[in-house]
Structure 1
Amino acid sequence: MVNLQAEPFSERSPLYRKHAGAQLRQLGETTVVACYSGNDERAQRQRCGLIDLCNLARAGFRGSDAAAYLRARGYQLPERPNQAIAQPDGGLVARLSKTEYLLLGSLGDAGVRVAQEETDWQLSDQANYLLPRQDSHAWLLLTGAHVSEVMAKLCGVDLRPQAFAPGSVAQTSAARISVIVINAPIAELPALHILCDRASASYFWDALLDAMAEFGGQPVGIDSLLKP
């Protein structure tokens, strides 16, 4: 573990300036925040935590043949738009429209499988087109008992569990920017995956932390998810 500097990042998160003083770790071929305080952050993640997943792989596919292509690659797909389904390896596939899918990498393999999908795709006669999402969308994870209360301060959509069940996807606005919100609990841990425009990541990070303050919310590192 080392103190956060600009130089260690082979690929910087757009939020790297927000993580000064944090401890780092390697996750696959990228560098992520392990923790902020050096202490066990599992209690914080259960209460109200915010995690930067921007350096974990993600990719999109669109086209009338996208579903057949992804099934052939071994992915389980949601039946309808605005649904997400967890994959056996811990990744996620969200269906954003009739013919568009968003793949989110797994911590279990450090996002390698999804990163490989982007590398392997080739233009062909199939109506299936790659939508690179690594540089277009930032990826944040909001966790804990107060996730819906935090988002109620920023978003007009009702994201309480009774209205926004696990596996639900909302394409909406929060803090006046466009976001994709996916309800995907991690075991028993309430968790909302939030994707926003990468250029707005720093602004949205601060907006979330401001909304979290009432509930004692704090940033937490990847280690809080990797520990049981």
Structure 2
Amino acid sequence: MYHSQLAMGAVMADADGWQLPVQYGDAVQEAAYLRETVGVSDVSPLGKVRVVGADASQAVAVLLAKATEQTVGTVSEAGSAFEGGGKLLSACLAPDEFLVLTPTGMASSASNTIQSSDPVCAHAVDVTSGLCAVSLVGPATHDLLSRITELDASPAALPDLSCVQSRFSDVQGLLVRRDVNGIPIYHLYASREFGEYLWEALIDSAKEVGGGPAGTDALLGLRERD
């Protein structure tokens, strides 16, 4: 996604070895997208740990106690005990498969913690570098999603703290919803090889509903109110 973002005028900054857009030249407009229509943001540095095995829920419960209560399609949230804090999410993809989502730079610690817990039939793999991640934020997010997927992503079908695997602009991906201050927020994860294509498809769809790209400055402003 990097070269497409540069072509859009992105000002970049380092985030744990990744280059992320801080802004695209108009931070006020980008913040307005998030509040009023929809903003599209690159959040690929967020940590991603795949946990598989018959005891996957027990393994994930080392970090998020409620993981053992999760059903397929649900998301659990907990504060991180790692240095730096932040939130951890666990998305239940199947009875024996979870994706644990961590703040930037914490995936390795999360994976090691799971692997060093009491022996269980589960395996944790840090897949951060293999998946791109794009955040879709704002009240018009559903309108954007309706343009790129046949999935019913309405608030009733995909409420806060839920997840679903489907195709988005013909790319297989995982959609995770976690709202902030009543503002709909979806994170879309897909194989990094489709990153540039998916980014451009999302930006085109966002523009159709009055939205556009938003950098990390605008996102941080939203998060500070969380």
TM-score (ref. length: structure 2): 0.83
Distance 1:52 1:151, change over 3 A: same
CA drift at 1:83: 0.8
The yes-or-no answer on 1:182 pairing with 2:179 is no
Distance 1:97 1:143, change over 3 A: same
Q: Secondary structure, in 3 states, of the residue corresponding to 2:129? A: coil
Q: Which amino acid aligns with 2:95?
A: K
Aligned equivalent of 1:100 = 97
Aligned equivalent of 1:12 = none
State the number of aligned residues: 210
The yes-or-no answer on 1:225 pairing with 2:219 is yes
User: In the alignment, which of 56, 63, 66 is matched to residue 53 of structure 2?
Assistant: 63
What runs of 5+ residues in structure 1 fail to find an aligned partner? 1-14
Aligned equivalent of 1:118 = 111
Aligned equivalent of 2:82 = none
Q: Which amino acid aligns with 1:126?
A: V
CA drift at 1:160: 1.0
Aligned equivalent of 2:188 = 194
State the alpha-carbon separation in 2 of the partners of residues 53 and 187 from structure 1: 19
* 73-82 or 40-49, larger mean C-alpha shift: 73-82
Q: Which amino acid aligns with 1:62?
A: V
Q: Which amino acid aligns with 2:109?
A: Q
State the alpha-carbon separation in 2 of the partners of residues 215 and 99 from structure 1: 38
Which of 1 and 2 has higher RCO (CA within 8 Å, sep 6+)?
A: 2
Report matched runs for 1:46-57 at 5 Å: 46=35, 47-57=37-47
Is the Cα–Cα contact under 8 Å of residues 58 and 115 in structure 1 kept in the other structure?
Answer: no
Q: Secondary structure, in 3 states, of the residue corresponding to 1:24? A: strand
Q: Secondary structure, in 3 states, of the residue corresponding to 2:128? A: coil
Question: What do residues 1-53 of structure 1 show as CA deviations (whole Å, max 9, x unaligned)?
Answer: xxxxxxxxxxxxxx111221322334456542211115333212222110101
Sequence identity (%)? 20
Distance 1:134 1:113, change over 3 A: closer
Question: What do residues 170-209 of structure 1 show as CA deviations (whole Å, max 9, x unaligned)?
Answer: 1111111111111211222211111112111111111111
Q: Which amino acid aligns with 2:32?
A: A
Is the Cα–Cα contact under 8 Å of residues 60 and 114 in structure 2 kept in the other structure?
Answer: no
Quick check: which one's helix share is greater?
A: 2
Question: What do residues 114-156 of structure 1 show as CA deviations (whole Å, max 9, x unaligned)?
Answer: 3312355548953111233223321111111111111111111
Distance 1:74 1:144, change over 3 A: closer
CA drift at 1:62: 0.7
Aligned equivalent of 2:126 = 132
Aligned equivalent of 1:155 = 149
Is the Cα–Cα contact under 8 Å of residues 75 and 89 in structure 2 kept in the other structure?
Answer: yes
State the alpha-carbon separation in 2 of the partners of residues 192 and 59 from structure 1: 18
Q: Secondary structure, in 3 states, of the residue corresponding to 1:185? A: coil
TM-score (ref. length: structure 1): 0.83
CA drift at 1:87: 2.2
Aligned equivalent of 2:25 = 37
Q: Secondary structure, in 3 states, of the residue corresponding to 1:87? A: strand
What runs of 5+ residues in structure 2 fail to find an aligned partner? 80-85
Backbone CA RMSD of aligned residues? 2.2
